Amino acid sequence: MSYGDKIYAFVDESGVFGWDLTNPSVGSHFVVSAIIVEENNLDCLRESLKQIKQDFFPTTEMKSSLIGGDLERRKKLLARCFNLPFHIYTCIVDKEKLRDWKGMEFKQTFYKYVDRQLYEALKISYPKLTICADKMGTDSFMESFAQYIEKHIQRDLFSETDFGFEDSKNEIIIQLADIISGSIRRNVDRTISPHYNFIRMLRKKILSENYFPYAWEDYINPNPAERREFDNEISKICLEQAVCFLEQHTNDTEPEERARVISLRFLLSQMVNNPASYIQTRDIRKHLESFDLDLWKVQAFRNKIIAHMRDEGVLITSSPQGYKIPVSETELYSFIDHGNSIAVPLLARLMKCRNIIRQKTTGKVDLFNKEAYKNLRKYMDAQIDN
């Protein structure tokens, strides 16, 4: 992707409004997915999907509901799609966590909440975007989504976001969005059986998976064998700090702020799927390229993106293996040890330099007397006092 490429998002959902959360016809989760495609890949993707449709759905449109619990058929279809030129942006709504929220018993309020999550996530990621949604979407969600987008586009006179409806029968990429949303919901919905980890299967295609409302339980690896170093309290604190940053900056459109939001979401996705692993700098920067944000050299990335988030209270640990959201006290100590090994010797060298110059000039020159170094001077003087 190069800067300025037109991006298309084809949107469809899986699930319905309702609060009988043990009823399979209602379900515990609502999933909305956007298939992200560059303009120059549209024709190629459509032609490839038409061939796949001919093999799997020769007489009907591609729909997740027609596959149902046939996991082998679903896996084969997704495997055929894996190397096609698209990515996935998905919102996963746990209705159980919204049940007691004010006004959520009303369909309009529920849809407005989901509308906002999806639209704002897409807008911050792709300033130049055309959204295409299924006009026959389930249970009026797409109608609500359209109204929300049109209202917000009108507010922003400089918006480069377009929106249009298309019957899914006539747009095969929306049919793919239906398959993806349905597959991901099979991963998370408590009323659906059998389950299969389609999120893991689609990992390299998913640019971002957004859980709403944010809850630290969603970021716990359910496999006890992989959680030996997992600390629920530490994980919850670190998640809350990340969420606080996202809530404050999700609507910012300045490139550096967009890069921070997208990088943090990427780190949170890793926290979900592989909490023991670090993400290397090059992988985060490559991820940013997918959003036209390949703007910084390595050191600038560390200073302007990672360091800035840390300055605002986001807890990100680092090691020679890369960065991660910490999930244990051990990882936090590893980060402190790393900082300690760098900071303490450096401060000692600065102190030695200052002392030598003060001594040799009989106090006439104190390198820390400049206003720019007042905090450093206070810190060094405190060390002497102690």
Write out pLDDT tens, residues 176-235. 999 999 999 998 999 998 788 898 889 889 887 888 776 555 555 544 444 455 577 788
Mean pLDDT score, 232-255: 82
For residue 18, give the CATH number of its domain.
3.30.420.10
pLDDT band at residue 360 using 50, 70 and 90 as cut-offs: confident
* Strands across the sheet containing 29-38: 160-166, 128-134, 7-14, 29-38, 87-94, 206-212
Predicted TM-score (pTM) of the model is 0.65
- Tens digit of each residue's pLDDT (9 = 90 or more) over 62-107: 999 999 989 999 999 999 999 999 999 888 998 888 877 777 888 8
Interatomic CA distance for residues 234 and 271, integer angstroms:
13
Phi, psi of 194 (to 5 degrees): -80, 160
Name the domain count of the chain: 3
Same domain, 125 and 22: yes
Percent of the chain with pLDDT over 90: 23
Most confident of 76-85, 129-138, 239-248, 253-262: 76-85
Cα-based angle 183, 101, 250 (whole degrees, multiple of 5) = 65
Residues 255 and 317 in one domain: yes
Closest residue by Cα to residue 294 from 270, 328, 264, 263? 263
Residue 169, both tokens = 């029968």
**Residue 142 forms part of a structural domain:** yes
Shared-domain flag, residues 361 and 315: no
Of 184, 213, 242, the domain-final residue? 213
**Peptide bond preceding 255: is omega within 30 degrees of 0, i.e. cis?**
no
Task: Give the orientation angle of helix 232-249 with respect to helix 329-360, to 10 degrees.
Answer: 70
Per-residue pLDDT, averaged over 105-129, amounts to: 77
- Shared-domain flag, residues 123 and 195: yes
pLDDT of residue 158: 42
Q: Is residue 1 part of a domain?
A: no
Strands 317-319 and 322-324: antiparallel
Residues 67 and 179 in one domain: yes
Count the alpha carbons within 13 Å of 107 in the hemisphere toward its beta carbon. Answer: 11
Question: Are residues 244 and 106 located together in one domain of the fold?
Answer: no
Q: What are 161's two structure tokens?
A: 């976001």
Q: Which domain holds residue 369?
A: 347-385
Residue 207 lies in a domain: yes
When pLDDT is averaged across residues 325-346 and rounded to a whole number, the result is 84
Tell me the residue type at 54: Q
Sign of the dihedral through C-alpha 26, 29, 32, 35: negative
Cross-strand pairs, 13: 32
d(CA 228, CA 330): 11
Same domain, 148 and 167: yes
C-alpha to C-alpha distance for 370 and 193, rounded to whole angstroms: 67
For 72, the token pair is 């082998």
Same domain, 229 and 198: no
Q: By percentage, how much of the chain surpasses pLDDT 70?
A: 85
